[in-house]
């Protein structure tokens, strides 16, 4: 071999060794639009994590595609998982964030709502593996409840604001009620996000389950000294958070081994606390590209600065690790799932009765996350809308929320200042 040829071979070998993808197997997204879908209404923790990722992941995807977000609330985010699994694009241009408890609901096999196999979803990663986190049970101070003992001794159950079966805010309280003897009732039917916080703030519900990071991000007033709520229980944490040294964990309270096993099963998905997944059937190249971009985003100083500003708890894990968590859940004893399903058969979790106020006014301003303002008898009124919860018609025809324009006159079904609109009937 000549000296020149040996040099050429050496250069080629070095280039191959230091190439980020030696096989060249990298999907390109040039000229495409990538849609990051969110299984809840705008304003809550999942929404904040989803939008944060969408703002930055485009820089790390080959071809620098346009990245947009879309909220698809419904059935505690199961509507989104069903969509991704059965209808989602299989080229990597559609993926989303949804309830971490979705795999458990599907694996339990007793509900017809989930129409997906969690083992076949293309798991991209999770923004949080719940390090330094806990799922908190927060209750209004004016109830007089300060402890689990108080919850057990109540004569009338407390209403907990929640979205739907399959969501942690519904299923976890139901199970804890069973295994710890708590007198609580999840009140279902809220679109998610800030509506759950507002329900408690208004006194429509007396409590809710929410993550510590979610409160830090979306509703910091609950962590202030003059907070209207008090923490009673911590879930999905091995030890008490230093911020709540006097608040016990669910595992501390449970006494029977079968109860502890059930709690362990329900806590496991929290280690994939903010999961992102794409439809099944993606090519290996596309899967690898999405997973790589996902992790690079979470190492990006610009993203981390944004996350810090939003007070997001970031402890990312890649898609392979999330897949292993789902596989671990799938291998858990069937008896645990049977008991879980049995508890949910008679959940004693009513749908809230909405008392809609019907008003009319002209749209004066449209803002991000579905916020809008309208003139109500000469006064500025604020509301929000989101597809999947707000029914919209324009000039008598069914439409999307994006069809609402400034200057339109609308008939609005809402619950008061700052609430989500249930229906909009508008005309030009």
3-class secondary-structure state, position 314: coil
pLDDT grade for 12, boundaries at 50, 70 and 90: very low
pTM exceeds 0.75 for this model: yes
pLDDT, averaged across the chain: 91
Per-residue pLDDT reduced to its tens digit, 277-307? 999 999 999 999 999 999 999 999 999 999 9
What percent of the chain has pLDDT above 70?
Answer: 94
* 154 phi, psi to nearest 5 deg: -65, 140
pLDDT at 6: 45
Q: What was the pLDDT predicted at 298? A: 98
| Cross-strand bridge partners of residue 233 | 137
Q: In the prediction, which pLDDT does 213 show?
A: 87
What are the residues whose beta carbons fall under 8 Å from the beta carbon of 293, sequence distance 6 or more?
57, 60, 61
- Residue carrying the six token digits 């241009």: 93
Pairing of strands 207-211, 135-140: antiparallel
Task: Name residues whose C-beta falls within 8 Å of residue 139's C-beta, 6 or more positions apart in sequence.
Answer: 145, 151, 158, 206, 207, 229, 230, 232
CA angle 234, 240, 244 (to 5 degrees): 80
pLDDT over threshold 70, residue 25: no
What are the pLDDT digits (tens) for 31-90? 999 999 999 988 888 999 999 999 999 999 999 999 999 999 988 899 999 999 999 999
What 254-263 contacts at long range (C-beta under 8 Å, 24+ apart), as own/partner pairs, is 254/179, 254/180, 256/179, 258/339, 259/179, 259/180, 261/333, 261/336, 262/175, 262/179, 262/336, 262/339, 262/340, 263/175, 263/179, 263/235
Q: Which domains does the chain have, with CATH numbers?
A: 14-129+272-333 (3.40.190.150), 135-269 (3.40.190.10), 357-427 (2.40.50.320)
**For residue 382, pLDDT beyond 80:** yes
Provide mean pLDDT across the span 322-333: 97
Task: Provide the 3-class DSSP secondary structure of residue 351.
Answer: strand
Question: Quick check: 16 pLDDT over 80?
Answer: no
Buried-state track 404-420, b at ≥16 Cβ within 10 A, e below 16: beeebebebbbbeeebb
Per-residue pLDDT band for 110 (boundaries 50, 70, 90) equals low
pLDDT digits (tens, 9 = 90+) for 138-169: 999 999 999 999 999 999 999 999 998 878 99
User: Other CB atoms closer than 10 Å to residue 76's CB: what's the count?
Assistant: 28
Question: Comparing C-alpha atoms, which of 192, 202, 206, 167 is closest to residue 347?
Answer: 167
Q: What's the chain's length in residues?
A: 428
């Amino acid at each position: 071999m000549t000296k020149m040829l040996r040099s050429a071979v050496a250069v080629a070998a070095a280039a191959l060794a230091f190439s980020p993808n030696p096989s060249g197997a990298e999907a390109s997204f040039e000229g495409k639009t990538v849609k990051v879908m969110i299984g809840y209404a705008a304003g809550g923790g999942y929404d904040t994590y989803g939008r944060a990722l969408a703002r930055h992941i485009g820089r790390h995807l080959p071809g620098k595609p346009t990245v947009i977000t879309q909220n698809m609330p419904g059935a505690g985010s199961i509507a989104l998982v069903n969509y991704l699994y059965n209808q989602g694009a299989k080229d990597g241009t559609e993926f989303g964030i949804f309830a971490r408890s979705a795999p458990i609901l599907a694996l339990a096999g007793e509900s017809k709502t989930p129409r997906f196999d969690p083992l076949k979803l293309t798991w991209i990663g999770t923004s949080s593996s719940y390090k330094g986190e806990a799922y908190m049970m927060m209750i209004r101070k004016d109830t007089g409840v300060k402890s689990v003992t108080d919850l057990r001794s109540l004569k009338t159950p407390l209403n907990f604001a929640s979205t739907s079966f399959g969501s942690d805010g519904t299923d976890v309280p139901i199970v804890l009620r069973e295994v710890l003897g708590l007198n609580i009732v999840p009140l279902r039917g809220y679109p998610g996000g800030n509506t759950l916080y507002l329900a408690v703030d208004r006194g429509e519900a007396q409590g809710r389950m929410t993550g510590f990071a979610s409160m830090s991000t979306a509703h910091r007033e609950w962590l202030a000294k003059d907070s209207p709520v008090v923490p009673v229980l911590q879930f999905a944490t091995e030890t008490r958070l230093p911020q709540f040294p006097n608040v016990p964990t669910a595992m501390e309270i449970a006494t029977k081994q079968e109860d502890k096993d059930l709690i362990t099963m329900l806590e496991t998905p929290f280690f994939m606390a903010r999961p992102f997944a794409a439809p099944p059937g993606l090519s290996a190249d596309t899967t690898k590209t999405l997973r790589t971009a996902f992790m690079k985003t979470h190492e990006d100083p610009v993203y981390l600065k944004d996350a810090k500003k939003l007070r997001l708890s970031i402890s990312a894990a890649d898609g392979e690790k999330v897949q292993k968590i789902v596989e671990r859940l799938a291998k858990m004893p069937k008896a645990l799932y049977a008991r879980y399903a049995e508890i949910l058969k008679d959940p004693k979790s009513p749908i809230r009765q909405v008392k809609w106020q019907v008003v009319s006014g002209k749209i004066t301003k449209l803002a991000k996350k579905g916020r809008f303002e309208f003139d109500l008898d000469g006064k500025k009124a604020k509301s929000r809308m989101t597809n999947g919860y707000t029914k919209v018609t324009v000039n008598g025809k069914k439409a999307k929320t994006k069809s609402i324009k400034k200057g339109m006159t609308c008939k609005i079904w809402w619950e008061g200042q700052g609430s989500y609109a249930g229906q909009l009937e508008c005309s030009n």
